[in-house]
Chain A
Amino acid sequence: GAGVSQSPRYKVTKRGQDVALRCDPISGHVSLYWYRQALGQGPEFLTYFNYEAQQDKSGLPNDRFSAERPEGSISTLTIQRTEQRDSAMYRCASSFPDSTAEQFFGPGTRLTVL
């Protein structure tokens, strides 16, 4: 497709369940990023990949959060044993592997944990 796609767009889950959020980057974009955005705040960095290698996971809040990109294209962000405080918009972005390159964002997945 022409842009970054994310699925599902909306996810409602019960506390304690695991969720998997998917990101499909722009074709040819080697770098892929995950951010979390709380209501009324700017996006907060979680992790990023170059190809399949996870280059920086310093933003993952705890060990319930993990991400993978096994073939260097589609990425999955997994949250285990979800808690209400995990409720947020999760945004994925992709870019060329250049520190000056702008990132292109997907529409996001709105996660609600009941």
Chain B
Amino acid sequence: AQSVAQPEDQVNVAEGNPLTVKCTYSVSGNPYLFWYVQYPNRGLQFLLKYITGDNLVKGSYGFEAEFNKSQTSFHLKKPSALVSDSALYFCAVRDRMDSSYKLIFGSGTRLLVRP
């Protein structure tokens, strides 16, 4: 069965400091991995994805994520956090061997960037 774990309910960081939001996954085959962000009263917005190739993926708003196959992780990172980055972040996985295109989401991590 496919699953995603986001071990931290909330991450607190000061503006200007680097941030990391953790994600680990479990799939039977090889994964496609995604990060989405949700602002209050808004839909989920796509940030970035890993499909194949370079393990470091760059996405929107200066975010990046590193795929680590041995650790089955796909942590989201940003070198310098902004207050406006405060939001709810979701990691999602799709097993590339699965004929269904559905995404399996983690439970989310709330990022709070303090001024």
Q: Give chain A's interface residues, CB within 8 Å of chain B.
A: 3-4, 31, 33, 35, 40-45, 48, 55-56, 58-59, 91, 93, 95, 97, 99-108
Question: Bound state CA distance, A65 and B108, in angstroms?
Answer: 26
Determine chain A's interface SS by DSSP, over half rule: loop
Which residues does chain A contribute within 8 Å of B105, judged by CB atoms? 35, 42-44
Q: A58-B100, A99-B96, A100-B51 are in contact. Are A107 and B90 (CB under 8 A)?
A: no
Q: A40-B107, A42-B107, A100-B32 are in contact. Are A95 and B101 (CB under 8 A)?
A: yes
Which residues does chain B contribute within 8 Å of A107, judged by CB atoms? 41-43
Which residues does chain B contribute within 8 Å of A95, judged by CB atoms? 101
B94 interface contact, C-beta 8 A: yes
Question: Bound state CA distance, A106 and B34, in angstroms?
Answer: 17
Which residues does chain A contribute within 8 Å of B94, judged by CB atoms? 99
Q: Give chain B's interface residues, CB within 8 Å of chain A.
A: 4, 32, 34, 36, 41-46, 49, 51, 90, 92, 94, 96, 99-108
Q: How far is the CB of B41 from chain A (nearest CB, A)?
A: 8
| Contact of A31 with B101 in the complex, beta carbons under 8 Å | yes
Question: Bound state CA distance, A107 and B40, in angstroms?
Answer: 11
Question: Bound state CA distance, A33 and B92, in angstroms?
Answer: 14
Question: Bound state CA distance, A43 and B58, in angstroms?
Answer: 24
Question: Bound state CA distance, A113 and B103, in angstroms?
Answer: 26
Pairs A–B under 8 Å by Cβ, sample size 13: A35-B105, A41-B108, A43-B90, A45-B104, A55-B99, A56-B100, A58-B100, A91-B44, A95-B101, A99-B101, A105-B44, A107-B42, A108-B43
Question: Bound state CA distance, A99 and B52, in angstroms?
Answer: 13
Which of the residues A41, A56, A101, A106 comes within 8 Å of B43, measured between beta carbons? A106
